[in-house]
Chain A
Amino acid sequence: MKKLFNTRVKVILVLALALAIITALAAALLPGTTPGQTVVQTLLAPLRSGFHSMTSLAERYYNYIFKYESLQAENEELTRKLNAMEEDVRSADALQRENERLRQLVDLTQDREDYLREDAYIVAWDSSNYKSAFTINKGSSSGLEEDMVAITEFGQVVGLITDVGPNWATVTTVLDSSLQISGSVASSGYTGIVQGAFATGQEGKMRMNYLPTVAVIRNNDQVVTTGSTIYPKGLIIGYIEDADFDKTGVAKYAILTPAANFDNLSQVFIITNYTVE
């Protein structure tokens, strides 16, 4: 055994310890992405994109072969819904014209936020059980920066860019306990801090903390962003599922179901710039 535990093995073990300490310190002390991470992730990005394309192609063929009938039924159902919605749109058009006329009459300005968005595809997920993050196929070369918000096509908050490289970026999702968002209950206006609930044992959910004790909270109430330098106002974070008093008894908390469907998420939109009209 002593013979096997030779100098080379000892050097490897010492190097492992040294590299572990260096990488841990670099991650903790250096702001943003470390140079080593940038190099490795930039080299891995084309490989990830290639594997992502192959996986998507395989999924498409699988769905075509095994899910053809269910897709046909879904198509019929969607066609029926589309017809109903087209009718709704026609009546909405008339209402919108009326609304514009009335706005002009009372001279109201629109409080609407305009976003500049960059679309990106998810190429890899963090496989850890304790972290919810994914890598997208665009980075600083497409104008992406840290602390930009990722949303779905329906304006649902997905997460925040936490690391960025030339052709990749890491988005930490709203399900991760490290992310905190200021949110408000759309129907009542109560505000609180929303964060991932994994650390409290509710995986796949979010927790809205610091709600006032007098707050009347109803299930399925929509929670939206209150607006900040990072998050535009009015993005949908999730829906209230449950509420209770926290341990201290001086505030309430609510458990939220995320608005974005993370199981089928493949494309996100990054808000690169936003202005309030």
Chain B
Amino acid sequence: MLEKFRLTPRQWKSVGKWTLYAALFLVVMMVQTVCLGNVRIFGTGLSLLPIVCCCVCLKEAPGNGGVFVLIASLVWCLSGADSGSLAILLWTSLSVLGAIVCQALLNNRFLSCALCSFITLLVSETVCFLSKFWFGGAQADQYLKKVLPGVLLSMLFYPILYGITRSISRIGGNYGTES
């Protein structure tokens, strides 16, 4: 009976790959909240997790990547993060839609992934800001002072995150074209 549960080498590689993606997400989450949580660069905080989600979704196709982003954003929401519910909706939908557009019209290489990550980050941060602004929790000028610098600063970490995601995605063969 246990024969049914025996994994092929390819399946083992797949398990390893998704474990590494999960580990990457947790490490970035710890860096963002524990190491840099109280650090404000130019008065704003970093938001690295949407970039990780977007990179994974683009590297692993909208179907598999979308499930990962959905679970990851749910964990982020349940970790007590501010605007966590919005993150579930925005990170998942934007990453999946970005992956579909890139797969159909572009590719999943560095620049396409950067464009997709930037749009995901910018839209999710803008919607979070608007939700705060709507309920009187923020002022209009804080969009230019906090949201835009935060997005641009976070994008500085994109090459590192993309590099790690790309290395992990190569385990057990690539999805899509890398040429």
Contacts and interface: CB of A to CB of B under 8 A. Distances in A.
Interface of A: 1, 4-6, 8-9, 12-13, 15-17, 19-21, 23-24, 27, 34, 36-37, 39-41, 44, 47-48, 51-52, 55, 123-131, 133-135, 163, 170, 177, 198-201, 203, 262-263, 265
Contact of A17 (B37, B89, B146): B89
Interface core residue of A34, A47, A51, A133 (most chain B CB under 10 Å): A51
A168 B101 CA distance: 41
Interface of B: 26, 30-38, 43-47, 62-63, 66-67, 70, 73-75, 77-86, 88-89, 92-93, 96, 100-101, 103-104, 128-129, 132, 136-139, 141-142, 146-147, 150
Given A16-B93, A19-B70, A27-B85, A125 B37 contact: yes
Contact of B30 (A6, A39, A47, A265): A47
Name the 3 nearest CB pairs between A and B, nearest first.
A125-B37, A128-B82, A16-B92
A164 to B, nearest CB: 11
Nearest to B138: A130
A79 to B, nearest CB: 30
Contacts, number: 143
Contacts of A203: 43
B34 A12 contact: no
Contacts of B85: 20-21, 23-24, 27
B100 to A, nearest CB: 5
A51 B35 contact: yes
Contacts of B136: 199
Given A128-B45, A130-B138, A1 B34 contact: no
A237 to B, nearest CB: 20
B137 A177 contact: yes
Given A13-B93, A23-B85, A135-B80, A124 B33 contact: yes
B25 to A, nearest CB: 12
